[in-house]
Amino acid sequence: MSYKVQGQRIVIVGGNDEALNKVRLVSKTTATVVIISRHIEADFRAFAVEVIERAFAPSDLDNAALVFVAEEGEDAELAKAEARARGIPLNVVDVPAECDFYTPSIVDRAPLTIAISTEGDAPVLARLVRARIEAMLSPRIGKIASLAGGLRQRVESLIHDGAARRRFYEALVTSPQIEAAEISGQGAEAAEVLLTQHVSADAKGVVWLIGAGPGSEDLLTLRAQRLLQEADVIVHDQLVPTVVVDMGRRDAERIDVGKAKGHHSFSQAQINTLIVRLAGQGKRVARLKSGDPMVFGRAGEEIAALRKAGIAYSVVPGVSAALAAAADTATPVTLRGVSSGFIMATAHGADDSDLRHWAALAQSGLTLALYMGKSIATEVAGRLVAHGASPATPVGIVVNAGRADKSTYSGTLAGLSSGQVAFSDGPAIIFVGEAVEAGDWADSAQLAGMSFKVA
Ligand code: SAH
């Protein structure tokens, strides 16, 4: 329930921090806020409120819409009795049994307001829930809601179809372009442009290339989560686990281009065609890729196809597998005096000159993070040594990085090249380089042969 207080007073009996907390909330209303107490302890100067340092008097409740009692004692009892006698809704701070109403935690994106209440049972929980909702909603969403309000009449006269109108509003409140424009004070202009596009009825869709991270839902970015909620279609790879895809809107269409129910997986050309076609139908497409979309994600080809078709797109970064693997094992992939850089490379299809190059880089102290190398790990390790890397170079491997079921292996290039290791199922990152030794590999399985010291 929202309660009208304009032109009336909100009276707070108490001058302590509890009173200050209520002031923070009610000073956002259009009421006149009055604080009455014999002991004004908190600092109310930051708020436009009237502070009266004296005993409570019944006439203080004249024209009061709401009363808060935030202290104990004679004045408090008098104020409670007076409020009840006059039928003015009363809130006694921290005494739910005496309250006529509770003040919820509020997410304030005026004109959008979200209230969270536990009816006084667990205010701490309400605050935590609030923090989550705060993180979900752009700070600009209120401004954008006002933009929508300002456009209502024009939208009604220009777009007659109800569904088309709804699409326009959805686009307005979810478009990253509008948000970006709002930041630079151009929100109204951008909203006009959007409206024109929708009026000409050829509103094109958009493709968001979204990094899903290594496979845990809490390693998604907030932006990724927001866009997944907005997408009409989610096109995802097989490496993206269901828990992450499930962060999307429940009624969004989902297309698994990794395995497509009993069919062959989609070819890259088919994926390009698919996302262009979906966006061409005006849909908002979340193209969800594991890790970061720009790292071994074939994003380049998809972006080229979108550009060619004139379809809007944007890219949302994600936690790449090597970074999740580094975090899992506390491995500093760059380390002062040891490793001055970090190479993300694919072991798949690497030729002799690649390997010679990497061997030299590893010798020079750089850390290699090899993607797509698990099935050929033994061979790659052997070839790195053959091309000049020291057999004693530390190696660390993380299977299922960033996930609850991760497993880790450590040793040296010589140990890995011996081939005596059975990895658990799942994708893997292979680290090679001196900095690996600085990580925490204490719980890892040892590769055969020489092993490095665990610090
Ligand atoms: N774009 C992704 C990489 C896709 S290529 C990213 O930035 O992470 C696929 C390769 O990524 C796999 O062969 C494996 O080497 C690596 N990979 C993806 N997810 C992984 C995970 N959870 N743990 C370890 N390696 C992973």
Specify the pLDDT at position 196. 86
Asked if the structure places residue 122 within a domain, the reply is no
Both 219 and 193 in one domain: the answer is no
Both 43 and 76 in one domain: the answer is yes
**pTM exceeding the 0.75 threshold for the entire prediction:** no
Asked if the structure places residue 371 within a domain, the reply is yes
Task: State which residues of the chain have pLDDT below 50.
Answer: 454-455
Q: Which of 169, 151, 149, 172 is nearest to 161 (CA)?
A: 169
Specify the pLDDT at position 455. 42
Span from the CA of 262 to the centroid of ligand 1 (angstroms): 24
From 346, 348, 429, 430, mutation site for ligand 1 pocket: most ligand atoms within 8 A of C-beta: 429
Q: Which domain holds residue 82?
A: 9-103
Asked if the structure places residue 123 within a domain, the reply is no
Both 271 and 240 in one domain: the answer is yes
Q: Are 402 and 327 in contact (CB under 8 A)?
A: yes
Specify the pLDDT at position 201. 56
Asked if the structure places residue 3 within a domain, the reply is no
Both 440 and 326 in one domain: the answer is yes
- Residue 305, exposed/middle/buried by CB under 10 A (0-12, 13-18, 19+)? buried
401 in contact with ligand 1, CB cutoff 6 A: yes
Count structural domains, the chain.
Answer: 4
Asked if the structure places residue 134 within a domain, the reply is no
213 in contact with ligand 1, CB cutoff 6 A: no
At 389-402, the pLDDT tens digits run 999 999 999 999 99
Asked if the structure places residue 112 within a domain, the reply is no
At 127-174, the pLDDT tens digits run 899 999 998 888 889 999 999 999 999 999 888 877 678 888 988 998
Q: Is 416 helix (H, G, I), strand (E, B) or coil?
A: helix
Q: Identify the domain boundary among 83, 103, 123.
A: 103
428 in contact with ligand 1, CB cutoff 6 A: yes
